[in-house]
Amino acid sequence: LDERFSAGIDVIKRLEDRGYEAYFIGGCVRDLLLNRQVADIDLCSSAKPEEVIRLFSRTIPTGLQHGTVTVLWRRKQIEVTTFRTEQNYANHRHPKEVQFVSTLAEDCKRRDFTINAIAMDKDGRIIDYEHGVADLERKQIKTVGHPEERFQEDALRMLRAIRFSTQLRFSIQSATYEAIKRHKLLLQHIAKERISVEFQKVMQADAVQQGVRLLLDSGIAGDIHPFSGVTSAFQSFSTFDLQELSEKERWVLLLFLVADEEKALHFLKQNMLPKLLSREIRKLTKLCYAYPTYRKATHFSDLMLVQLGQENVFFLLLMNRLVTSPSNDYLFEQKLQHEQEIIRSRIEHLPLQAIEQLAISGEELAKLYMQRKKGQWIQQALERLLLAVVNREVENERDRLIAFMMESEGYE
């Protein structure tokens, strides 16, 4: 067992010592039974949040209004949520307030899918009121209770069904899937942050292709914001061999397939990705839109190789090849590697590999030409020098570069 389960067992023991019930529940039990890596440890308990806070010396009130307290135990974080039901769903969203209940059975009833409602006690005994284990064996996603009702209560569950189906490579039970098709429009009431969280998980999953197809087939990608703006990109995206691509590459490919840069970047913005990832995707997407036809090594001049750098050039080769190659091109990988090899060798044989390696800097140029105001001309001068060095008109040495500058500007 994972070390975090043993921390969870300690927390359960202490709760039980004080007369409360407590169990492992949800994702950690599901993933343990599936032999998958466990993301985080969640417990449910009859203890109220105040009681959990009182019992443990280090706690974080993570979501008191939902009954959740995070217990810090031997440098591990264990989430403890009080047995509860959800009532008064307003506008098909999860409720702001919840009601505490006294039994595990009632708590399981409010959970989304049977496979997420399996509990386990500290000795590893499974307690399975909603028959989730059978659905794990059948590899299916099925709502706890009536799918119609459950999706009307909280529409996000429809997207979660597709997300879990994608992550686990499970099918969606037919009544559950039919209900998704019928009620998909209710997703319009859900905050875009929550939609984005689920969609990002689809994009990260190995079976991303299955997820995108479900989004299309269910009608969600066609009708629900923000997907509805880029439906045709989704259609063509679903025909690629996406499993081979990294998360970043998948995003850029999808955005490139939108075929309208502004629209694509708008879609990206609406998917609140982590800042760094988002910035990187944005940069690469703009690159693809700037050079949409560069799919062979011969398309790149020496100057471009230095200015873009090997990594960006490889990225352009990959993306432009992907979108222009027939999907059954079994030589794709070899052809790509061949072009990359040419690029690699060309860059290696250039007098320099990046503008930063120029033997003179913008600062120095500014000092040499003190009479001029700083401005665009510095960048332009650097690029002119770079071109000259790449074309072997001048050697990459400080004094020679200065002489070259003076000459070309008419100074003697």
116 binds ligand ATP (CB under 6 A): yes
Rounded to whole angstroms, the Cα distance separating 310 from 74 reads 45
Answer left, alpha or beta for residue 38, where phi above 0 means left and psi between -120 and 50 means alpha: beta
111 binds ligand ATP (CB under 6 A): yes
Q: C-beta of 348: minimal distance to ligand ATP in Å?
A: 44
Element containing residue 24 per DSSP (H, E): strand 22-25
Helix, strand and coil percent figures for the chain, each rounded to 5 = 60, 10, 30
Rounded to whole angstroms, the Cα distance separating 313 from 336 reads 12
Q: Of 110 and 282, which CB lies nearer to ligand ATP in the complex structure?
A: 110
Stretch in the footprint of ligand ATP (CB under 6 A) among 126-134, 150-158, 174-182, 230-238: 150-158
On whether the CB atoms of residues 161 and 144 are closer than 8 A, the answer is no
Phi/psi of residue 95, each to 5°? -75, 155
How many residues form the binding site for ligand ATP (CB under 6 A)? 13
Interacting residue with ligand ATP among 21, 22, 24, 112 (CB under 6 A) = 112
Which residues touch 223 (CB under 8 Å, ≥6 apart)? 184, 185
How many residues form the binding site for Mg ion (CB under 5 A)? 2
Q: C-beta of 43: minimal distance to Mg ion in Å?
A: 12
339 binds ligand ATP (CB under 6 A): no
Q: Of 111 and 122, which CB lies nearer to Mg ion in the complex structure?
A: 111
Q: Of 110 and 295, which CB lies nearer to ligand ATP in the complex structure?
A: 110
156 binds ligand ATP (CB under 6 A): yes
Q: Which residues of 211-248 are buried (b: 16+ CB within 10 A; e: fewer)?
A: bbbbbbebbbbbebebbeebeebbeebbebebeebeee
Residues 2-31 that bind Mg ion (CB under 5 A): 27
User: Which of Mg ion, ligand ATP, none lies near 273, with the C-beta cut-off 5 to 8 A by kind?
Assistant: none
Can you spell out the DSSP letters for 225-258? Answer: TTGGGGHHHHHHHTTS-GGGS-HHHHHHHHHHHT
Tell me how far apart the terminal alpha carbons of the chain are, to the nearest angstrom. 78
Q: C-beta of 40: minimal distance to ligand ATP in Å?
A: 6
Interacting residue with ligand ATP among 6, 27, 63, 109 (CB under 6 A) = 27
User: Which of ligand ATP, Mg ion, none lies near 156, with the C-beta cut-off 5 to 8 A by kind?
Assistant: ligand ATP
Q: C-beta of 44: minimal distance to ligand ATP in Å?
A: 9
| Residue among 322, 346, 349 nearest 335 (CA) | 322
Residues 33-92 that bind Mg ion (CB under 5 A): 40
Residues 309-328 that bind ligand ATP (CB under 6 A): none
42 binds ligand ATP (CB under 6 A): yes
191 binds ligand ATP (CB under 6 A): no
60 binds ligand ATP (CB under 6 A): no
User: Which of ligand ATP, Mg ion, none lies near 63, with the C-beta cut-off 5 to 8 A by kind?
Assistant: none
Residues in the chain: 412
The tokens 């560069």 sit on which residue? 294
Between the CA of residue 130 and those of 45, 99, 236, what are the distances in Å? 18, 20, 39
Q: Of 97 and 363, which CB lies nearer to ligand ATP in the complex structure?
A: 97
The tokens 């860059």 sit on which residue? 347
User: Which of Mg ion, ligand ATP, none lies near 157, with the C-beta cut-off 5 to 8 A by kind?
Assistant: ligand ATP
9 binds ligand ATP (CB under 6 A): no
On whether the CB atoms of residues 269 and 255 are closer than 8 A, the answer is no
User: Which of Mg ion, ligand ATP, none lies near 92, with the C-beta cut-off 5 to 8 A by kind?
Assistant: none
Q: Of 41 and 313, which CB lies nearer to Mg ion in the complex structure?
A: 41
Residues that bind ligand ATP (CB under 6 A): 26-27, 39-40, 42, 94, 111-112, 116-117, 154, 156-157
* Residues that bind Mg ion in the complex, under the rule CB under 5 A: 27, 40
